[in-house]
Amino acid sequence: MIHAFLPPRAVVREVGLRDGLQSIARVLSTDHKLEWIRGAHAAGQREIEVGSFVPARLLPQLADTAELLAYAKTLPGLFASVLVPNLKGAERAIDGGADLMVVPLSASHAHSLANLRKTPDEVVAEVGRIRAARDAAGSKTLIDGGVGTAFGCTLQGHVDPEEVLRLMQALLDAGADRVSLADTVGYADPAMVRSLFERALRIAGDRLWCGHFHDTRGMGLANVYAALEVGITRFDACLAGIGGCPHAPGASGNVDTEDLVFMLESMSVATGVDLPKLLDLRGRVAGWLEGETLQGTVWRAGFPKTFTATEGVAA
């Protein structure tokens, strides 16, 4: 049944290779990562964040991002993104021909100084330099200003929504093509999500790109639903729900890709994803990550008899 109050389709953007793997100490081999990208594409996923252009000494787990990006670009119809913390990383993303680069900004000033060693406004200025470099290179790589700790912060506690919206506007003014909101540490609840995304939509319109939620306290899918109801149609997720939280050992990670696809398809929101193929891939990834804490419920319980996927499988 189609529900008039929900969008007919939504994109589930896989971020397990970046957000998931960066919080796991183990380094997954490049071959396994290539198989993961190939499998996600074969299952119908069309947007994948393949890694991050940070110095390899900081995140050895993601040192092969350039190779993964080059491979992702060979897969038909795949929109490949990377995370870039600064201009140096952005230059690598532009050189590699990424479709989109996410520049993270923390709305929490304490989190920003601790993790990025910059104030949020210094990140905004860096986005201006990235935009200038992108345009000078004649590159088509889109710039997404990812506003993190948008719903609260483990260091600072409360994060003022007014400040989140101010920074979002500043990112757009500095040249970001897109902006996104992230609940980096799992502090959001559906009422907060609804309120902030509604206000953000008034500022950014269709340049508001993506909702990024963590399931740290079991609110992940509820938060997706709240954003979906106000018209957001792109969500980050990690296969097997990997991700964790560096400040809460053992905490659950990002929203789980399989469970999110299941929820959307159950509500007739087409994702283009073949769920049995995705569950098969999850099994392989789980094998490579044996010993790590994985999440998810659909792989364990299977599908209910009443479940029928939409026919929106991507070409």
* Smallest distance from Zn ion to CB 183, Å: 8
Helix ranges, 158-219 (H): 161-174, 190-204
Site string for Zn ion, 247-286 (x = CB under 5 A): ----------------------------------------
* Smallest distance from Zn ion to CB 22, Å: 9
Q: Which is nearer to Zn ion, 19 or 144 (CB)?
A: 19
* Smallest distance from Zn ion to CB 241, Å: 12
| Segment lying near Zn ion (by CB under 5 A), choices 12-20, 79-87, 187-195, 296-304 | 12-20
Contacts of 138 (CB under 8 A, 6+ apart): none
* Smallest distance from Zn ion to CB 240, Å: 15
Task: Determine the Cα–Cα distance for residues 206 and 315; give it in Å rounded to an integer.
Answer: 24
* Smallest distance from Zn ion to CB 23, Å: 8
HSE at residue 290, side-chain half, CA atoms within 13 A, is: 3
Give the binding-site size for Zn ion (rule: CB under 5 A): 1
Sign of the four-CA dihedral 250, 258, 197, 49: positive
Dmax (CA) for the chain in angstroms is 55
Distance from chain centroid for Cα 260: 13
Q: Which is nearer to Zn ion, 94 or 192 (CB)?
A: 192
Q: Which is nearer to Zn ion, 96 or 146 (CB)?
A: 146
Contacts of 158 (CB under 8 A, 6+ apart): 152
* Smallest distance from Zn ion to CB 185, Å: 8
Task: Determine the Cα–Cα distance for residues 289 and 309; give it in Å rounded to an integer.
Answer: 28
Q: Which is nearer to Zn ion, 147 or 270 (CB)?
A: 147
Give the SS3 label for residue 100: strand
| Segment lying near Zn ion (by CB under 5 A), choices 18-26, 94-102, 129-137, 199-207 | 18-26
Catalytic one among 153, 210, 238, 245?
245
- 60 within 8 A of 52, measured Cβ to Cβ: no
Q: Which is nearer to Zn ion, 235 or 262 (CB)?
A: 235
Contact call for residue 19 and Zn ion (CB under 5 A): yes
Task: Determine the Cα–Cα distance for residues 144 and 83; give it in Å rounded to an integer.
Answer: 9
| Segment lying near Zn ion (by CB under 5 A), choices 13-21, 124-132, 171-179, 185-193 | 13-21
| Segment lying near Zn ion (by CB under 5 A), choices 16-24, 107-115, 221-229, 273-281 | 16-24
* Smallest distance from Zn ion to CB 77, Å: 25
HSE at residue 164, side-chain half, CA atoms within 13 A, is: 27
Q: Which is nearer to Zn ion, 19 or 126 (CB)?
A: 19
Contact call for residue 126 and Zn ion (CB under 5 A): no
- 181 within 8 A of 218, measured Cβ to Cβ: no
- 17 within 8 A of 64, measured Cβ to Cβ: no
**Known catalytic membership, residue 153:** no
Site string for Zn ion, 74-113 (x = CB under 5 A): ----------------------------------------
As beta bridge partners, residue 150 has: 152
Contact call for residue 144 and Zn ion (CB under 5 A): no
Q: Which is nearer to Zn ion, 19 or 265 (CB)?
A: 19
User: What is the number of the residue whose Cβ is closest to Zn ion?
Assistant: 19
Burial class, 64, CB count within 10 angstroms (exposed 0-12 / middle 13-18 / buried 19+) = buried
Residue 22, amino acid? Q
Active site residues: 245
- Give the footprint of Zn ion on this chain (CB under 5 A): 19
